[in-house]
Amino acid sequence: MERWRGKVAIVTGASSGIGAALVKDLVHYGVQVVALARRDDRLKEIRDSLPAGQKALVHPIKCDITQEEDIKSAFAWVEKNLGGVDILVNNAGVLRMTAALKPDNSQDIKDTINTNVIGLAFCTREAYHSMKRRNVSGHIFLVNSLAGHRVPDFGPSMSSSVYAASKYAVTALTEIYRQELANAGTKIKVTSISPGPVDTEIFPGAINMIKDKVKILDPEDISESIIYALSTKPHVQVQDIILRPLAVDMPSLVKQLTTEKK
């Protein structure tokens, strides 16, 4: 991680969960972190909780990644004040438990696609041009999901099909970015991180009931995998990392627990 000391990382969705854990890990290694989220008060709390020598490495910026102007403004601030971005972690995401064919779910579909796909794509585009302009060995991360590799079936009472569709798009974008970055002759890596259930605010209460039965992933587990990928040699690209809780099949467990509650 020494080669990243003093470099600049942008982390979206940094106010809680995986993003907050990653902010703390990155500054530990001397990385300057631009923390983006809608809740800038939470970002400032995270910064203020750090050891005195690390506080100045965190730059909180209020940013709604469903708003393209917010994204452009945040990246412009980074260019002007920090010289550009070297690491991008597309972590912001939403999970709406709605079936694709459910009536009156238009807002859930828009929120999911705008955050998980379009916002991610806009952030990646801006980061790419910053990295390419300076010809740096950058790294772009897409926080994906197991649902981006296998559509989970939670039964008729719950559905995350729209979320899964958005994460399948992230899986496709990972390979698209790899090809485009290679064709452009850059030194920029791209890595998809696909965790199973993580103990974060994204999960609705109905899924949180599994925490009483099994040990699910912690945000720190995902942050550690990102640090691992960053630590690889410049010629090594870790394209996909899949993490899941040991010996847990989440769809089957959720089906079982929802049946027991009836």
Per-residue model confidence (pLDDT) at position 128: 99
Per-residue model confidence (pLDDT) at position 203: 65
229 pLDDT more than 60 = yes
Residue 5 CA to residue 82 CA, distance in Å, equals 14
The pLDDT confidence band at residue 78, using thresholds 50, 70 and 90, is: very high
Between residues 207 and 67, which one has the greater pLDDT?
67
Mean pLDDT over the full length of the chain = 91
How do residues 148-167 score in pLDDT, each as one tens digit? 999 887 766 667 889 999 99
Q: What torsion do the CA atoms of 252, 253, 255, 259 make, to the nearest 10 degrees? A: 140
**Element housing 7 (H / E):** none
- Which CATH number is 2-260's, of 2.60.40.1180, 3.40.640.10, 3.40.50.720, 3.30.700.30? 3.40.50.720
How do residues 92-138 score in pLDDT, each as one tens digit? 999 888 888 889 999 999 999 999 999 999 999 999 999 999 999 99
Residue 3 CA to residue 5 CA, distance in Å, equals 6
Residue 9 CA to residue 82 CA, distance in Å, equals 10
Q: How far is CA 31 from CA 95, 163, 181, in A?
A: 29, 31, 23
Per-residue model confidence (pLDDT) at position 155: 67
Hey, what long-range contacts does 145-148 have (CB within 8 A, 24 or more apart)? 145/170, 145/194, 145/195, 145/196, 146/194, 146/195, 146/196, 146/242, 146/244, 146/250, 148/192, 148/194
Residue 47 token pair: 């910064």
Q: How far is CA 100 from CA 108, 166, 250, 255, in A?
A: 10, 11, 20, 19
Residue 54 CA to residue 104 CA, distance in Å, equals 47
Q: What torsion do the CA atoms of 15, 127, 113, 193 make, to the nearest 10 degrees? A: -70
- The catalytic site residues sit at 163
156 CB contacts (<8 Å, ≥6 apart)? none
